[in-house]
Amino acid sequence: MERSRVAMISGSNRGIGAAIAHRLFHDGWRLSLGMRNPTMPDWVSDADSVHLFPYEATAGVEPTWVQTVNETFGRIDAVIPNAGIIVAKSVIEAEDDDLDAMTEVNVKAPRRLVKAAWPSLIESGSGRVVIIASLSGKRVASARTGLYSISKHAVVALAHALRHEGWEHGIRCTAVCPGLVETEMGRGLVPEPSKELTHPEDVARLVSLGMDLRNSSSVSEMYINCNDGEIY
């Protein structure tokens, strides 16, 4: 398989990020995987096509990461900000530090990463940004997730702002908004273990679709849920 396009994925060591990486590798992408503790995935069959970077969303290392990817692969065609955190508190229980922590990781870090890669995405001519947001960015499902929803509403707005900013350059941006997913974070939000949560691999399918659409087929938001609950 000839691999040409290059994607950067943050938070790719587990959960949704790991599933996205696996899917895109299968699709023929070369990957730069941002991880707190870089470890080569066991499914990698071509190590020259996968680059690891020690990424911490609060460290401001995005420009260095982008520079390293350009030096390694010579191009960047897609950025997938996936790293995120949740502080499961209501807006009354929470302190400013709780909101600041989620804003830093969930909103500021994705913006920094895309900004650093912007010249490369323009050069690609068909740059793609797929931000992993949440259905919590479309509605507030409970008091316990209210603070998280504030940060994810901002993430969805960021995706739309990037879509407008990059349109004339062939850059397309999509916010993928999953509900509860079978990850460590998702399991922590349900009272009992559930086999009915959305699988990370299904979120990865949506990301793959958004990456492969032509410039004339822009999708601003994609939703996926494990039940028939309201999106808005």
Catalytic site positions: 148
Question: Measured in Å, how far apart are the chain's first and last C-alpha atoms?
Answer: 42
Tell me the DSSP string of 136-156: GGT----STTHHHHHHHHHHH
How far apart (Å, rounded) are the C-alpha atoms in residues 223 and 229? 12
What is the identity of the amino acid at 212? D
**Phi and psi for 80 in degrees, rounded to 5?**
-125, 90
**Residue that is written with structure tokens 């950025």 in the block:** 79
E-assigned strand segments in the chain: 6-10, 30-35, 50-54, 78-80, 128-132, 172-178, 221-224
Longest dimension (CA), the chain: 53
Q: Are 141 and 229 in contact (CB under 8 A)?
A: yes
List the one residue out of 167, 104, 157, 92 whose CA is nearest residue 131: 157
Residue 118 host element (H or E) = helix 109-124
**Residue that is written with structure tokens 């590798």 in the block:** 25
DSSP β-bridge partners for residue 10: 34
